[in-house]
Amino acid sequence: MSSFFNRHSKIILTLTLLLIPLILTGTWSSLVYQVSPQPSGQLTVMTYNIHEAINVHNHLDLDGILVTIQQSNPDIIVLQEVDTGVIMSGTTDQARWLAQKLNMYLAPITSTNHIWQSDVILSKYPIQSYESIILHSPSEDDTLLRADIEISGQQISIYAVHFSAFSSTDRRIQADTGIPWVTSTGNSLKIWAGDFNVDAYTTDAVDQSIYADITTHFNDTFTTALAQTGNLTWPSTGPYERIDYIFVTPTITVLSYVVPSSLASDHLPVVAQLQLPSLPLNRQIQYSRIINIIQTQDDNTFHKVQKLS
C-alpha cells in the first residue's frame, strides 16, 4: 500500500511541477507552443478601436469583435476603447476575455485613475514587461501603453495610444507628452499603433503638425506598404477619415496594409504585415540554437505529461 502511494505521489509531484509554470503564465490552454517562433522575422499587426464592443446597431457584440480579429490572425493586436468591466458592457473584462479566447498574452494599462476604458496590447509572443502613462488634456485623459516583446531574436517595443476626439488642441497637448515618451523609451525597433484621431487628409494645421512630428521618427505603414488594400477607417458604415494608424521605425519593412470590413465597431481595423530587419549572422545562429533548445524542452515536457497521463 505504501509503495502505491509513494509511486502516485511522485506522479502528482511531477505533474504539479510541470503545470505550475503554465498556470502562473496563463498558458494552460496551450501546453505545447503558445506561439511557433518564425525565423523569417515576419509578423502581422492589427490596431482596432473596438468601441467597447458596441456594434453599428448599438448592440453589445464582443463575439463580433472576436471574429473580426480571428479573420486576420494577427500576431500583435493593439486595441482601444476596451471596457474594463462596467455595467454597459455586461461587467465583462473585455481585455481578459479576448486574451483568453485568442490564447494570447495581455498587457493592460498600469495607471488607470478614473479611466474605465483604455488601450490594451495582446501578443502571441510572451510580453517581457509593460508600462503606461496618462495623456492629460483639458477635455479628457487618455492612455499610452508600451509592451516589450522578443520576436525572432529581436527586442521590439509595441505602443498603443488613443488621442482625444474633442479637439486638435487637446491632441497637440497629448502628442507633446506622447511623442517624447515613445521615442525615448523601449527598444530601437518600435511599432506605434492606435486611434490617433488625426485625419490623414485634414486641413487642420494643428493636426497636420502632429502627423508631421510623428512621421519624423516613424514610417506610416499605409504610405510605405508594398501593397495596400483599403485606407479610410471611420466610420465603419461608410468611412471618410483615416484616423487609425500603425507607425513603424524605418528599419521595419511594410509588406502589406489592409483595412478589413466589419460592422462590429464604429471603427474599421487596420492590419499590417511587417518584416523585421535581418539579424547579423552570428545572432541568427545564436537565436536558432536557442529556439532548438526551447522546442526540445517543450517536446520533452509534452511527452512527460503524455506518458504520465
Q: State the CATH number of the domain containing residue 114.
A: 3.60.10.10
β-sheet bridge partners, residue 257: 228, 272
- Domain presence at residue 295: no
Q: Are residues 3 and 78 in the same domain?
A: no
| 189-195 β-sheet, strand order | 127-135, 142-151, 154-162, 189-195, 244-248, 219-220
The answer to whether residues 275 and 195 belong to one domain is yes
167 & 231 share domain? yes
Count the domains in the chain: 2
User: 103 and 27: one domain?
Assistant: no
Same structural domain, 110 and 2? no
Residue 20 and residue 104 in one domain? no
The residue among 21 and 176 whose pLDDT is bigger is 176
Residue 112 — very low, low, confident or very high, per pLDDT cuts 50/70/90?
low
Per mean pLDDT, which range of 37-51, 205-219, 240-254 is the poorest?
A: 37-51
190 shares its domain with 265 = yes
Tell me: do 130 and 14 sit in the same domain: no
Residue 17's domain comprises 1-32
First to last CA, the chain: 21
Asked, for residue 309, whether it belongs to a domain, the answer is no
Whether residue 150 sits in one domain with residue 104: yes
| 238 and 104 part of one domain | yes
* pLDDT tens sequence across 118-163: 899 999 999 999 999 999 999 999 989 999 999 988 999 999 999 9
Domain shared by 189 and 263, yes or no: yes
pLDDT by residue (tens digit) across 282-302? 455 455 555 455 555 555 544
Quick one: pLDDT at residue 68? 98
d(CA 25, CA 105): 9
pTM: predicted TM-score of the whole model, two decimal places = 0.80
